Chains A and B, each alone.
Chain A
């Protein structure tokens, strides 16, 4: 016999999603779902969230027409949704803030989170400092090396940073370790997952908190361009900024394009292009596309950007791919660096390496579509954290 699900929110996106978790965590997921449903329809919760998004995070973030870049490319107009201007320098704060308010509602006093590039860790540590919550961040030791500045920022914000030495010592292992902490401390602790991944209801909650990106961008582009964009482009690791940008456009005639990390090239096996090169399986509590071997073991991934270095992807993206509502492509390390330099030089905006993948693809697409068209790009974060990586890739010693 099958046990019927008792989820009040839809637990799946087509064939993807679900809740594949150890029994110990089931009650916590049910509580979270109930608390979220309550919060969603509670005007006081929305009011507090809106207030903090405006006065603490600095929303709405601007929509900026990249005129010089557009001119240089000589094609479609390129519009940037400036999440790099949000407090802490990336879109991650939208979700961290929303979930921390939820945790407080659940009566949880301790927050844990995983982080790859460190942006979600910094955002979580920031929000915990503001709300007075205990904060523990799990980060792969390899990522701590790549992102030492963010690692230090988290400590300054009062978080305990736990280096993860298992597996590939990157994002996926940090998630495993955070899950183990949660299994042990679930009664007092809320786990703020940083992307639209994980067991139900996390992909839905994270998407809802990140959809502020797309809602604002849609209104702004209608006002500033006088029309909907022809395409919306965003980088995809776990895919939270992409789903946040895409979601409010789902019913519009707008192409949605997710750009994955091609690493050394999709043909080399050293990449993180899950939707482009993976196949469905179950990892970290959800059924989604994965990079895995024939035996179902999860593969180690590679990308120049720590934030995209993940062998899974949010289940809603898997559904958008198989239902053909969105397209997914790969941009490799070298191309991402090209995108990074192009934007930096023409606009005086230093993007993070993650959205540099999207910028590179948007430049190619702008040439292809030609003048008179509009492309909306999710500029998910700023690049200060990546200076060491970029310098090393360009052969410069700092």
Chain B
């Protein structure tokens, strides 16, 4: 387990504060902008950062993140590059926990043990692997544990009650609750159905809960923060990058995160 991640969530619980988690796809829009964007997210108030590992077939992602993946891959951004980005960002003062988020095949191709060893050495804190449910995660979970990385499983509105404790059993830092039955970035988090879903998860685990998928505005983020330990914003940050003029992207990420995180 990542100590940095656990401390971050523990501090938040002590002070009664909810966390803001920001996502960006590694290498988007250009590989040299990733480290400055990571630092800008931290400056803007992101407590935890998710760094998206590009994949050719992101089947759970909506159009915005699909496009970001494609742009990153056109520049040849690999899992190894993601480690380099984290290492460099840490050198330049990034202290927030960083979770790598992506799909299983790039990890498999590098080798699970090697990927975890390199991730830990670079200063990463954990993984979210969208297409790796607990039933298939045995080997990868062991590799994460061996390198003090957190494995962050997902829970969905369609997840049945009896499955939640089984998912929670392979988590050590927090659970990622998918707020919509759908792909990332649709911008329509189902706020009316969310409380019942979160309650259903809460009743079955003491782990901190983060909520993500479809949160784009400050109002939505605040509504989510009232329910959960953390709110995740991803596609909206990518959109903020897209809306900014070249040369102003970093600044605009910082401003957007400041606004949505409510700092």
Choose among A179, A183, A298 the residue with the greatest number of B CB atoms under 10 Å from its CB. A183
Which of the segments A24-32, A140-148, A248-256 contacts the partner chain?
A24-32
B159 touches A26 (CB 8 A): yes
Number of interface residues of B (CB under 8 A): 49
* Stretch of B17-25, B116-124, B132-140, B233-241 that contacts chain A: B132-140
Q: Mark B160-199, 1 if CB is under 8 A from A, else 0.
A: 1001001101100000001001110000000000000000
A: interface residue count bin: 35 or more
Q: Which of A39-47, A61-69, A281-289 contacts B (4 or more CB under 8 A)?
A: A281-289
A297 at the interface (CB under 8 A from B): yes
Interface flag for A18 (CB, 8 Å): yes
Q: Is the CB of A167 within 8 A of B108?
A: no
Q: Is the CB of B57 within 8 A of A27?
A: no
A66 shortest CB reach to chain B, Å: 40
CB neighbours of A2 from chain B (8 A): 134, 137-138, 141, 170
Smallest Cβ distance from B82 to chain A, in angstroms?
11
- In the assembled complex, which residues on chain B have CB atoms less than 8 Å from the CB atom of A297? 54-56, 73, 105-106
A184 and B159: CB pair below 8 A?
Answer: no
Residues of B within 8 A of A372 (CB): none
Which A110-139 residues sit within 8 Å CB-CB of chain B?
Answer: none
For residue B157, which residues in chain A have a CB less than 8 angstroms away from its CB?
A: 24
A13 contacts B by Cβ under 8 Å:
no
Smallest Cβ-Cβ distance to B66: which chain A residue:
A166
Contact B59 A20 (CB under 8 A): no
In A358-372, the 8 Å CB interface with B consists of none
What are the residues of chain B within 8 A of A22 when measuring CB–CB?
A: 59-60, 130-131, 154, 156, 178
B70 surroundings in chain A (CB, below 8 A)? 166-167
Q: Give B74 Cβ to nearest chain A Cβ, in Å.
A: 11
The yes or no answer to B155 lying at the interface (CB within 8 A) is yes
- A54: Cβ under 8 A from any B Cβ: no
Nearest chain-B residue to A281 (Cβ)?
Answer: B105
- When chains A and B are docked, how far (Å) is the Cα of A5 from the Cα of B138? 11
Question: Which of chain A's residues have a CB closer than 8 A to the CB of B36?
Answer: none
Inter-chain contact B109/A296, CB cutoff 8 Å: yes
Do residues B56 and A27 form an inter-chain contact, with CB atoms below 8 A? no
Say if the beta carbon of A396 comes within 8 Å of chain B: no
| B interface list, Cβ under 8 A from A | 54-62, 66, 70, 73, 78-80, 104-110, 130-138, 141, 153-160, 163, 166-167, 169-170, 178, 181-183
Q: A22-B130, A183-B183, A295-B78 are in contact. List 16 more A-B contacts (CB 8 A).
A: A2-B141, A3-B170, A4-B135, A19-B136, A22-B60, A167-B56, A173-B57, A187-B181, A281-B109, A282-B108, A283-B105, A292-B109, A295-B106, A296-B79, A297-B56, A297-B105
Closest 10 CB pairs of A and B: A296-B109, A2-B138, A296-B106, A184-B182, A24-B156, A3-B134, A296-B105, A179-B59, A295-B78, A23-B156
